[in-house]
């Protein structure tokens, strides 16, 4: 872990020297790490979608073979095996954690005292945002993935129903998480969340187009 943190710290210093703005350097290094981990992230998204599809298929099978116990058991065993494979695909998130944690730790232990043109109302990225603008922005970026599901084009047939209580909890926890932390951490969280949102939108568009082609 220390080895990864050391590499990321050196990269951050290089980007800071090149851009002359620590905030921009943080955004760039966050995007670089996200792009590096994109294959794992996409694999996780495909696995989660497959898991959702299998849940829908399972309900259909139970209804279809409700009067045929032998065939029902056979079909359920088959789909249970497929479900286990897709769950293993979701475990790719675990493989990302060491790098993500090292990146977070790099920003948390930053020694540079610098402002950024991206956040002009803050004198140093090592302090928290007393105006709470960063926490509000982060809370909104965390809520956005739930809101785009209301756009008809992005709505999936196997989509999990919107949970208002969960959405409110997400907003509150996101605000609390960044309210007293250094702005550098908040900037990292916002960049990471925005990247995930864009990746999610692109993934949904890809799935929609793929489904259209399969139908045609």
pLDDT on residue 77: 65
Sites in the chain below the pLDDT cut of 70: 1, 51-96, 153-163, 211-216
Give the end-to-end CA distance of the chain in Å, rounded to a whole number.
49
User: How far does Cα 75 stand from its chain's mean position?
Assistant: 33
* CA–CA dist 120, 152 (Å, integer): 37
Q: Is the dihedral of CA 192, 195, 197, 203 positive or negative?
A: negative
pLDDT on residue 36: 87
**By residue range, what is the domain housing residue 57?**
2-215
For the chain, the C-alpha Rg in angstroms (whole number) is 21
Beta carbons of 22 and 114 less than 8 angstroms apart: yes
pLDDT on residue 81: 57
pLDDT on residue 51: 67
Ramachandran sector of residue 118 (left: φ over 0; alpha: ψ -120 to 50; beta: rest)? alpha
DSSP string, 20-35: S-HHHHHHHHHHHHHH
Give pLDDT tens digits for 56-100. 666 666 666 666 666 666 666 665 655 555 554 455 556 667 777
Q: State the total domains in the chain.
A: 1
pLDDT on residue 12: 87
Residue 111's CB is within 10 A of a number of other CB atoms, namely 6
Q: In the beta sheet, which residues pair with residue 116? A: 119
107 SS3 class:
helix
* CA–CA dist 51, 83 (Å, integer): 6
Beta carbons of 112 and 18 less than 8 angstroms apart: no
Look up the pTM and report it: 0.77
DSSP secondary structure letter of residue 152: G
* CA–CA dist 107, 126 (Å, integer): 9
81 SS3 class:
helix
């Amino acid at each position: 872990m220390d080895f990864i943190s050391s590499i990321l710290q050196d990269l951050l210093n290089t980007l800071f020297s090149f851009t002359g703005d620590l905030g921009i350097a943080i955004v760039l290094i966050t995007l670089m790490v996200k792009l590096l981990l994109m294959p794992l992230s996409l694999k996780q998204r495909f696995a989660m979608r497959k898991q959702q599809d299998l849940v829908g298929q399972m309900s259909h099978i139970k209804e279809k073979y409700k009067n045929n116990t032998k065939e029902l058991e056979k079909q359920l065993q088959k789909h249970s095996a497929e479900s286990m494979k897709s769950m293993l695909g979701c475990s790719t998130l675990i493989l990302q954690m060491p790098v993500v944690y090292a990146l977070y730790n790099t920003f948390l232990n930053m020694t540079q005292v610098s402002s950024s043109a991206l956040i002009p109302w803050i004198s140093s990225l090592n302090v928290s945002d007393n105006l709470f603008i960063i926490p509000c922005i982060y809370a909104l970026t965390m809520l956005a993935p739930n809101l785009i599901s209301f756009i008809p084009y992005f709505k999936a047939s196997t989509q999990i129903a919107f949970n208002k209580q969960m959405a409110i909890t997400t907003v509150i926890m996101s605000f609390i998480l960044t309210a007293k932390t250094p702005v550098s951490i908040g900037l990292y969280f916002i960049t990471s969340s925005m990247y995930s949102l864009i990746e999610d939108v692109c993934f949904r568009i890809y799935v929609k187009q793929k489904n259209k082609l399969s139908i045609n």
